[in-house]
Structure 1
Amino acid sequence: MQPLTEDDVRAAFVNATADELERLVVPMSFVLADWDHLDFFAWPDPRTRGRGYLVVERDGVPTGVVVRAADGGRSRAALCNLCHTMQPGNQVALFTARRAGDAGIRGDGVGTYMCADLGCHENVRLAAPLAPGELRASVDRRIDGTRQRVEAFVERVVGDADA
């Protein structure tokens, strides 16, 4: 990802209300972000339980979405739909995002199961160590797949709002 400022991040959100942007708090890790090695930037809101933020580049332009976790938890193991990492059930949550533009104003949204801490970027890299005979390319494919799935989720949020 290209290096972003806090103002860049705030301007990137396509489905945030003015109040949400005013309350948005970037994490402390923001100033330490190694942008060259980030596929996307995601973090849970430290002030509002269940709210999170996700920023990804679309055609070189940062695009952000506000997501909300559904209440309640799961008791069994679950698979994150973004990083494809198996987690204990309480570490995966259904997150929804209001669609951008008129669709979001009408109440339309999209959802998917994500790591509850929005740590997919790290989780896919910290997954099981390479087995004997496993190639680094398989890890790179997991990383690329995660980035592609995050971009596809954001595309679903943006929908026809770009038109």
Structure 2
Amino acid sequence: MNPLTEKQIRASFVNASRREVVQATVPDLDPLDWGRLDYLGWRDRRAPLAAYVVVELDEEPTGVLLRAAAAPASGRRRRAMCSWCRDLSTVEASLYVARRGGASGRAGNTVGTLICEDFSCSRHVRRPPTSAEAGTGVEAIADLVVADRTAGLRERSERFVRDVLATR
């Protein structure tokens, strides 16, 4: 992912009001390793159910305001696999819902998906493959497995943002 400034991030949101964009808490961008990110995602520390992702669509940053599902009253969460990175070792996936962009979103239409609760998908797809994933020749195809996972993450996250933009 190309490095972004706070101004670029705030200008990228396609489903948020001006007020929501101004009130958004942007993470510290300095320590990020942009070369190892497939998208930028974070939870708003001031609004526990608000979250944001910025994905590059057609080489332009496109931001989406998300709402996290509230924790169940029982306190027990169901195990779920992230729809973006599909990492089976991850059980901390949460339902995130985004208002669609434009008139469709103003009419209350939304789209949702399961995403790693802490938006660590880029790290998960870059972990070395296990022998269960790659067979006996793990070392020989490790780079191919990671490249395939990374491409899948990018495709699925981009598809979600395109769904947010769709005028259904």
TM-score (normalised: structure 1): 0.88
Aligned to 2:121: 120
Aligned to 2:110: 109
- Unaligned ranges ≥5, structure 2: none
CA contact (8 A) 1:52 1:118 kept: no
Provide the identity percentage. 41
Aligned residues: 157
TM-score (normalised: structure 2): 0.85
Deviations 1:89-140 (A, max 9, x none): xx211100000000000000100011111221222223x5443512120111
- Say yes or no: does 1:139 pair with 2:139: no
Aligned to 1:93: 94
The alignment's C-alpha RMSD in Å is 1.8
- Say yes or no: does 1:77 pair with 2:65: no
Q: CA deviation at 1:32?
A: 2.2
Structure of greater Rg: 2
Question: For residues 95 and 13 of structure 1, what CA distance do their matches in structure 2 show?
Answer: 16
Aligned to 1:23: 23
- Say yes or no: does 1:159 pair with 2:166: yes
- Unaligned ranges ≥5, structure 1: none
Q: CA deviation at 1:66?
A: 0.6
Q: Which runs of structure 2 are paired with 1:32-51 in the superposition (5 Å)?
A: 32-51=31-50
Question: For residues 36 and 121 of structure 1, what CA distance do their matches in structure 2 show?
Answer: 10
**Aligned AA (1:80):** C
Q: CA deviation at 1:71?
A: 1.3
